[in-house]
Amino acid sequence: MLTGTRTVMVSVVIVVVALALVVATLGEGTARPGRDGVLEIVMEGNDFTPSRMIIPAEEPVTLVFVNDNDAARNVAFGREVTETDGIPTGLQEDLFAGLSARVEPGRGWIGPSESVPVVTISVGGRSSTRVHVTFPRDRVGDWEMVCFRGRGCDPRVATVAEVTIR
């Protein structure tokens, strides 16, 4: 049996280790919407900042996509990249499937269609697109945000960001 002082010291060590694990799990680059519900996602080159996001379920959020590139970028949220003839073409599961959202500008919401099988957020070069959405409880879990370029979604070319709906 531990003595009183020793018990306190062991408890403090356990708390410090637990906090270190939480900080390591969240890490630098993890972001949540602010009090106003806005979460800004910057696209520069093939990178997304933040690279990890936590978004609450059943609360309205505004995702602001800022494209710092000269060329347009198209992003999609989902799980399991699909390929046709070795070329990434979409996602097995679409986070936005069946959801309604308000998008500014309106042309920033593409699909789904035969040629684009998942909802895609389009952001022109050196511009931004705002997506106002509420993710339902059935979307809780881990998702990926990938960049669509050329003939499809190629996470080998563009960085994949992690998105968790809680």
pLDDT tens-digit series, residues 22-66: 444 444 569 999 999 999 999 988 788 999 999 999 999 999 999
Q: Which of 72-76, 104-108, 120-124, 130-134 has the highest mean pLDDT?
A: 130-134
Indicate whether 13 and 51 sit together in one domain. no
The pLDDT score that the predictor gives to residue 77 is 94
The pLDDT score that the predictor gives to residue 99 is 94
Indicate whether 93 and 157 sit together in one domain. yes
Indicate whether 1 and 60 sit together in one domain. no
pLDDT tens-digit series, residues 74-109: 889 999 887 777 766 778 999 999 999 999 998 888
Indicate whether 20 and 47 sit together in one domain. no
The pLDDT score that the predictor gives to residue 165 is 98
The pLDDT score that the predictor gives to residue 150 is 54
Tally Cβ neighbours within 10 Å of residue 97.
15
Domain count, the chain: 2
- Residue 81 is part of which domain span? 32-165
Q: How far apart are CA 108 and CA 55, in angstroms?
A: 21
What residues contact 37, with CB distance under 8 A and at least 6 apart?
59, 60, 61, 62
Domain with 51 in it: what CATH number? 2.60.40.420
Indicate whether 110 and 141 sit together in one domain. yes
Question: Which residues lie across from 104 on neighbouring strands?
Answer: 130
127-140 average pLDDT score? 97
Tokens of 22: 């939480």
Indicate whether 85 and 112 sit together in one domain. yes
The pLDDT score that the predictor gives to residue 83 is 76
